[in-house]
Amino acid sequence: MTSIDTATPAFLARRPDNAGGSLCVRDRAAGTLLRLDVGPAGIGTPDLVGEGFTPSIAPMITAGDFDGNGTTQVLCGLPVAGGARTVQIRAVAGALGPRAAVLSVDQAGDVRISFVDVGAEFVQWSTGVLTTLAPDTVVLGMADVTGTGRPDLVVRRADGGVGVLEFPERPGSGVWFDLGTSFDGALVVTALDRGSDDPADLLALDPCGDLLLFPHAGVFWPQDPAASFSAPIRIGGGFGDYEFVG
């Protein structure tokens, strides 16, 4: 397991709200799950959430407040005999109610949103399909990128490009925006909503394991979505062995 180092990014001093957020990462080889706070002092010291979360035990994993008590819980998708119909899960924080919801993608690429009752099965939030993703598309999560105040679906395509689906008023509706493929050679791994009214920033991992933050300019330009993000800022290193799960 590589050692994580942190930096104090200048963008935090430029943001008057100084809002915070958090990251949850997994070392896929060791199965270690860590939580890191992102706030006015940069990325905080990693807190150990647990161990033994290897992909063979928990092939799908995400973190969120699923019971609405203000703390973070871990949701694991366990191996299922004959193969699981669900292939990706991500937490959707806050915007749909007091509890986190779960974004799930099945083998056909159909995306749905569900709520979780702790100790029970998923309770489906909508019978309709939110959208259908192309093969090899990775769901990065949901965050307000377009500035509407609602969480948008953020995905990474097979070519490394990032797309955003503005949250639809009903399943099957909504507008896709292309954020492009140019992220200084880095791979976008998640969108960081720091709990303020500002649109979400993008986090990317470069080939050296450095974590780069692409700050949102504060205004979304639908005619040129990629221009909505500023030049990257390095906010940490040593993340090459980690998967971003929440």
**Could you report the average pLDDT of every consecutive run of 10 residues in the chain (246 residues)?**
54 41 87 80 79 90 83 78 76 73 89 70 59 93 88 93 84 83 92 76 93 90 93 88 88
DSSP state letter for 50: E
The pLDDT, as a whole number, for residue 1 is 44
Say whether 228 sits in a helix, a strand or coil.
Answer: helix
pLDDT of residue 121: 52
**Rounded distance between C-alpha atoms, residue 17 and residue 166, angstroms:** 25
Which of 98-105's residues contact partners 24+ apart within 8 Å by CB, and which partners? 98/68, 99/65, 99/66, 99/67, 99/68, 100/64, 100/65, 100/66, 101/125, 102/62, 102/64, 102/66, 102/75, 103/139, 103/141, 103/142, 103/153, 105/133, 105/139
Residue 189: per-residue pLDDT: 94
pLDDT score at 17 = 41
The per-residue pLDDT for 53 is: 92
- Indicate the SS3 state at residue 152: strand
d(CA 219, CA 221): 6
Residue at 119: amino acid letter: G
CA distance 229 to 173: 25
Is 1.10.20 the CATH number for 5-244? no
pTM of the model: 0.85
